[in-house]
Each structure stands twice: as structure tokens, then as C-alpha cells.
């Protein structure tokens, strides 16, 4: 039996869901804007966004404190949340399209672990001297892992769910073992950074990090719409996709590069934030169908909004202390993953 | 015209097809028949460029190994034996994939669905259809891909792997009529068939495949001879003539082995 997402949303009478889906794009855009504003306005420092806005509008100077809190702490953090959330959700959606399988997620199939290995390698082996080396080596780690994974899990254009998940476990274990060796030789400061980083956090977001990670995430995300039709066709299988005129090899190479760049940069700046890539596309497929022309952009919007909100929870729930965001996404995402697995169990022959 | 010369296909260390030479004409239905495992699907995969092969395959005079994927998609469509899909697309969305690079409206897709007897199925989920319904949805997708004439006037082709094997007799005839209609309007059809009676009824040319080779190619009348069929399928088969030049086949009870 093939992998199948067994869902039964209300039957669509004429089969064309594009109108509804376009409405959802606007809805999610509004959701993202709202969550960004709330996140900017909320925080333990007690600075009021509204007060600051009315001050600025009336021509008064902002106090230095307010300016630092709003512009140098909250703003880059919210923006980073958007970038990372969009990157992870879109990586998940593209990876799922590539594997024709709703269970593929960068965190689960080992791509994030590969990126971590690259990032830690750069930190520990002294490559962190230049700001670019960490995200770039994270990208290389993610890229190599994705290619290995595809080679192992796909035979003659068909992907086996079981092989993909098991290969993911093996790749994750291997990458983590190598990471462990690197950590062993790390010094104390590197170690402390590393521990907080692996749990996943947006706490260290600064404008300079955004300047580095921003392009590495934004450029691949802007390229994904060009993959949409190809990924739709790929659902028919690799051979049939070729028959309707899709250049499958090129599509796969681009998809792997995009996933690696987006995941690599996201992991480099925020560590292990899991499950965004599986929860977001799955919810969207339930709501508006699997057409990648809308799924990809909607994933970016919803992923960004969800991560900004999750980060907000981390900041306020035990204020003035902070929870690593990776814990929040795992607490919500892991049961969700099990739920998808359970629904699939009847029809997927793992 | 489809021209195949000295085609050899190796998979792993095994030779699946050896030194095949055959042709198929535009405006005709060419059926490929032969026992299970004879290499019919393998032949079709080679002809559509999915498998690497030795020898030459030309479609409308162009070497398919040197024709771009996009160009090939304009002039030929391929129906696989079965097409499982992993995401919950609606029937309409699946049919529209046939013209993924071109403009297309929902009416075209609906017309194709009506043609294959699936009027009103547009909003159903592909995964929730029966095997035969899925196969007909895929046929509709394949039809919209090559239904309209191509700009430069080159002939269009359909390659079908067992298009009717999961259908009842009514739908088998309906699908065969669609395929005949396509051929009459100037298309070329190459299809793998299991049902010899249906093949005798509809095909213009039959390729009998057995033991890695083409045992015979010719009209159904020439190809369906007791001796050829019996040795290809390894059991005794008698061909009978029906009135009005028809033909039907009956397997004999006694197998060749006994
Ligand atoms: N990937 C492969 N590697 C090795 N041998 C293969 C491979 N695929 C198919 N074969 C063999 O090639 C032969 C032809 O297979 P093919 O699928 O073309 O048969 P077929 O005529 O289409 O049969 P059916 O009528 O059952 O569909 C079979 O003996 C099969 O075992
Ligand atoms: Mg076959």
C-alpha cells in the first residue's frame, strides 16, 4: 500500500479548492501580522509598544531603554522567529513533497542533526571566527544528510516510509555521535553555549545574526514557488512526473538544496526546534488540500506565526526566566506526530 | 511513427529484452501481448524513456534519448499500470495535472472525466476511489495531456500499460472506444493488453512478446494463430472465427505440458 493521508474534510463539490485556499493565504497573513504585533508589545521589561508609538507620533524622543527593548531586543527576536518558523515549515513541506510522504520532517529524518553537526563543527573547530562559517557549515551538514537520506530511502523512484524513518534514526544517531565527540574537545564557554543552543532558542537573536541568516533563509524560501508545480506532479511518482514534462532530477536537486539551506540556517541560529515542519504542513493539508502552489506559501506564513507565538509563550510563561522554545514545540508537536502515525497505521504498510 | 530497432534492455545482470525490432503507426492501435513476465511493462518503460537501453527508439523521426522531457510531454502521454498517490488530491486536481505546464480550465477536465464515465466525480478524493475508478481518472489525466493537436502538427501518442485490466466489460468497451477515437483522429496508440479477445476486436497491429523477444508482429489475424499463441503462452489455445470476420479465442482444457 502507498502512503496515504487519510482525511475526510467536507467534500468539495466541484473539486477546485483554489478560491478557498487563496482566502486562507490572506487569513494567515493577518494571523502572522497580529502575532508579530502582540509579540512586539509583550515582554518582561514592561515597555509598552503603544506608549512608544504614541510618543513617536507626537514627536517625542523615545527613552534609550525603550528604544533598546523594542528595537534591539524584541524586534530582531520576532523577526528571527518569523524566519526560522517559515524556514522549518517550508523545509518540512518541501521534504514531504520530495519523499511523497507526510511524515518527512527535517528534525525527524536527520536533516537537522546533520545541520547541528555542521554548526558545532564550525564552532568547536574554530571556524566561528567569521560569522558566515556557522550557517554555511550547517547548510553543508544538512545538504549531505539529505542526499544520503534520499539515496538510502528511495529506490527506483519510490520511497519506503519505514526505510526513510529508520534511515533518519541512523543518520541522527551518527550525526549526534560525531557532535558528541566534538563537544568532548570543546572548552567551557563553547560547551555552555552549545547546551542552550541544542535545546533550541531564539534568545540570542540580534540584528547581526539576522543579516547573516536572513538571506540564507529568505532566498531559498523565495525560490520555493518555482518548485510548486513540480512537487504536485511528483505525487504521481517520479516516472509519471517525467511524462507530464517535469524535469525530475533538476527538481529533486533544487528541493534538496532549498531544504538544506533553509534548515541549515535555521538550525545555525536557533538550534533544535522540532516538529514545526510536520505540524504546519499537515494542518494546512487538512484545511485546504495538498496543492503546493498554496501549501508552500501558507506553510511559510503559518510556520512564522506559530513560532512567534511559541516564542512569546517561552518568554512570558516563567518570566523573568525563559523556557527554550524547542521544549514548547516538542511538547505540542510530538503527540501530534504520534496522532498522524496512528491515523496512518491502518493504511500504510510500514 | 514509432520505430524501434535492436532494442536490448538489461536490468541488473539480467537481460529482460533482447534485440527487439518493431514499429507502430499513427492512426492505429498497436497492442503488446504476451505472458506475464514476458517484459511488456519493461518494453513500455523503455519506449517512454524511463529505462536505459541499447538500440534506437525514434518517435515521429526523433530519437527519444535526445528529445527533451518537455518536448516529449507535449507529444506523448503515458498511463502506468497503477498510480498510487500519497496526498489527498481531488479528482479534478489530478486530471488538471495532465496539463501542468499549460493553461487549462475546469471544463476541459470535466469533459475528460465525462468521457471516461466519471461525470460528477470532480470533488471526490482520489484516494477514496476504487482501483478501476482511479485507473479511469488517470486515463482522463493522460487524455487531457494530448487531446488537443500540437502546434507544429506532429502526431501525438498514447502509451498505455493495461488500461482496461481492472475494469468490467462495459467500461472496457467504453475505454477502448475512447482509444479508438484518439487513433481515428490521427493519434498513435501503443498499449499493453492481457485480454486477447478484446485485443483481437480493437487492435490494428499486435506484437506478441515471449521469451525476451518479439515472436511475431502483424495484424490480429496474422498474429493470433493457434501455433504461435500456444507456444507463446505455453498452453493449448484455439482461435475461432466468428461470423462477419470477427475472431474469438478459446483456451483448450488440456495444457501443453500434459
Ligand atoms: N528491476 C528489475 N530487476 C530485475 N528484473 C526485473 C526488474 N523488473 C522486472 N524484472 C523482470 O523482468 C521481466 C519482465 O517484467 P515486466 O514487468 O516487463 O513483465 P510484464 O510482461 O509486464 O508482466 P505482467 O503481465 O505481469 O505485467 C520479469 O521476469 C521480471 O521479473
Ligand atoms: Mg506489466
Structural domain includes residue B9: yes
Structural domain includes residue B258: no
Structural domain includes residue B257: no
How many Cβ atoms sit within 10 Å of the Cβ of residue A212? 20
Which CATH number is B60's domain given? Answer: 3.40.50.300
Q: Look at ligand 1, atom 5, and give the residue with the nearest C-alpha.
A: B11
B133 touches chain A (CB under 8 A): no
- Rounded to an integer, what distance in angstroms lies between the CA atom of residue B217 and that of residue A107? 55
Is the peptide bond prior to B173 cis by the omega test (within 30 degrees of 0)?
Answer: no
Q: Give long-range contacts, CB 8 A cutoff, 24+ apart: A144-153.
A: A144/A114, A145/A110, A145/A111, A145/A113, A145/A114, A145/A115, A145/A171, A145/A175, A146/A95, A146/A111, A146/A114, A146/A256, A146/A259, A146/A260, A147/A256, A149/A109, A149/A110, A149/A111, A150/A98, A150/A99, A150/A252, A150/A256, A153/A99
Report the number of distinct structural domains present in chain B: 1
Sorted by where each begins, the domain ranges of chain A are 17-344
Element spanning A94, H or E:
helix A75-99
Q: How far is the CA of B210 from the centre of ligand 1 (A)?
A: 12
Residue in this structure with the C-alpha cell 541560529, named with its chain if needed: A269
* Of the candidates A207, A187, A215, the residue with the CA atom closest to the CA atom of residue A128: A187
Beta bridge mates, B216 = B208
Q: Each residue's pLDDT tens digit in chain A (350 positions)? A: 333 344 444 344 577 888 888 899 999 999 999 999 999 888 767 767 777 788 778 877 777 777 888 788 889 999 999 999 999 999 999 999 988 888 888 888 888 889 889 888 887 877 556 667 778 888 899 989 988 988 888 776 666 767 878 888 899 999 989 988 888 887 777 776 676 666 667 877 888 888 888 999 999 999 999 999 999 999 999 899 999 999 988 898 899 889 988 998 898 888 878 889 999 999 999 888 899 999 999 999 999 999 999 999 888 888 778 888 888 888 888 888 888 777 765 544 44
What end-to-end distance do the CA atoms of chain A give, in Å?
A: 9
- DSSP conformation letters of B33-102: E-STTSSHHHHHHHHTTSS--EEEEEETTEEGGGS-HHHHHHHEEEE-S----SS--BHHHHHHGGGTTS
| pTM, 2 dp | 0.88
Fold classified for A17-344: ABC transporter involved in vitamin B12 uptake, BtuC (1.10.3470)
Closest partner residue to B48 among A243, A248, A291, by Cβ?
A243
- Out of B8, B42, B232, mutate this one to test ligand 1's pocket (max ligand atoms within 8 Å of CB): namely B42
User: What's the domain range around B214?
Assistant: 2-251
How many Cβ atoms sit within 10 Å of the Cβ of residue B18? 16
Structural domain includes residue B66: yes
B103 touches chain A (CB under 8 A): no
Chain CA centroid to CA B243, Å: 28
Give ipTM to 2 decimals: 0.90
Amino acid at each position: 500500500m502507498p502512503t496515504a493521508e487519510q482525511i475526510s474534510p467536507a467534500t468539495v463539490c466541484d473539486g477546485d479548492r483554489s478560491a478557498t485556499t487563496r482566502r486562507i493565504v490572506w487569513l494567515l497573513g493577518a494571523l502572522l501580522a497580529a502575532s508579530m504585533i502582540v509579540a512586539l508589545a509583550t515582554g518582561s521589561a514592561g515597555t509598552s509598544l503603544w506608549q512608544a508609538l504614541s510618543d513617536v507620533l507626537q514627536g517625542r524622543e523615545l527613552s534609550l531603554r525603550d528604544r533598546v527593548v523594542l528595537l534591539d531586543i524584541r524586534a530582531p527576536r520576532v523577526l528571527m522567529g518569523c524566519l526560522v518558523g517559515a524556514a522549518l515549515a517550508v523545509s518540512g513541506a518541501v521534504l514531504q513533497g520530495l519523499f511523497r510522504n507526510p511524515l518527512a520532517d527535517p528534525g525527524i529524518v536527520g536533516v537537522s542533526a546533520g545541520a547541528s553537526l555542521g554548526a558545532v563543527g564550525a564552532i568547536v573547530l574554530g571556524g566561528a571566527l567569521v560569522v558566515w562559517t556557522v550557517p554555511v557549515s550547517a547548510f553543508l551538514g544538512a545538504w549531505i544528510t539529505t542526499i544520503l537520506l534520499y539515496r538510502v530511502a528511495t529506490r527506483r523512484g519510490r520511497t519506503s516510509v519505514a526505510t526513510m524513518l529508520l534511515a533518519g534514526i541512523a543518520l541522527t544517531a551518527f550525526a549526534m555521535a560525531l557532535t558528541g565527540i566534538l563537544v568532548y574537545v570543546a572548552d567551557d564557554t563553547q560547551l555552555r553555549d552549545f547546551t542552550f543552543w541544542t535545546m533550541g532558542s531564539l534568545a540570542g537573536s540580534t540584528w547581526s545574526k539576522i543579516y547573516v541568516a536572513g538571506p540564507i533563509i529568505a532566498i531559498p524560501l523565495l525560490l520555493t514557488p518555482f518548485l510548486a508545480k513540480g512537487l504536485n506532479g511528483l505525487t504521481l511518482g517520479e516516472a509519471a512526473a517525467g511524462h507530464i514534462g517535469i524535469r525530475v532530477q533538476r527538481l529533486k536537486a533544487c528541493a534538496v538544496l532549498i531544504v538544506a539551506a533553509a534548515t541549515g540556517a535555521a538550525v545555525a541560529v536557533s538550534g533544535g526546534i522540532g516538529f514545526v515542519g510536520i505540524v504546519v504542513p499537515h494542518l494546512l493539508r487538512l484545511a485546504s488540500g495538498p496543492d503546493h502552489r498554496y501549501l508552500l506559501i501558507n506553510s511559510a506564513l503559518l510556520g512564522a506565526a506559530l513560532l512567534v507565538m511559541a516564542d512569546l509563550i517561552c518568554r512570558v510563561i516563567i518570566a523573568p526566566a525563559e523556557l527554550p522554545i524547542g521544549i514548547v514545540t516538542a511538547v505540542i508537536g510530538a503527540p501530534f506526530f504520534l496522532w498522524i502515525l496512528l491515523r496512518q497505521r491502518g493504511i500504510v504498510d510500514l | 511513427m514509432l520505430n524501434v530497432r535492436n532494442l536490448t534492455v538489461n536490468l541488473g545482470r539480467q537481460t529482460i529484452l533482447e534485440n527487439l525490432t518493431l514499429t507502430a503507426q499513427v492512426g492505429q492501435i498497436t497492442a503488446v501481448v504476451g505472458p506475464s513476465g514476458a517484459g511488456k511493462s519493461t518494453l513500455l518503460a523503455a519506449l517512454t524513456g524511463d529505462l536505459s537501453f541499447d538500440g534506437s527508439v525514434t518517435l515521429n523521426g526523433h530519437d527519444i534519448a535526445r528529445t527533451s522531457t518537455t518536448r516529449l510531454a507535449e507529444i506523448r502521454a503515458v498511463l502506468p499500470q497503477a498510480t498510487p498517490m500519497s496526498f489527498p488530491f481531488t479528482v479534478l486536481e489530478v486530471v488538471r495535472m495532465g496539463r501542468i505546464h499549460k493553461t487549462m480550465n475546469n471544463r476541459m477536465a470535466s469533459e475528460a472525466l465525462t468521457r471516461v464515465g466519471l461525470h460528477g466525480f470532480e470533488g471526490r478524493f482520489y484516494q477514496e476511489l476504487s482501483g478501476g475508478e482511479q485507473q479511469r481518472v488517470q486515463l482522463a489525466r493522460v487524455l487531457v495531456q494530448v487531446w488537443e493537436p500540437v502546434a507544429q502538427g506532429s502526431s501525438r501518442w498514447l502509451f498505455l500499460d493495461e488500461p482496461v485490466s481492472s475494469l468490467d466489460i462495459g467500461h472496457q468497451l467504453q475505454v477502448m472506444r475512447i482509444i479508438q477515437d484518439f487513433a481515428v483522429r490521427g493519434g498513435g496508440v501503443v498499449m499493453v493488453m492481457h485480454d486477447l479477445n478484446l485485443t483481437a476486436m480493437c487492435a490494428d497491429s499486435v506484437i506478441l512478446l515471449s521469451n525476451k523477444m518479439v515472436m511475431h508482429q502483424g495484424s490480429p489475424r496474422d498474429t493470433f494463430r493457434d501455433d504461435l499463441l500456444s507456444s507463446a503462452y505455453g498452453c493449448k489455445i484455439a482461435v475461432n472465427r466468428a461470423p462477419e470476420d470477427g475472431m474469438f479465442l478459446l483456451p483448450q482444457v488440456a495444457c501443453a505440458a500434459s
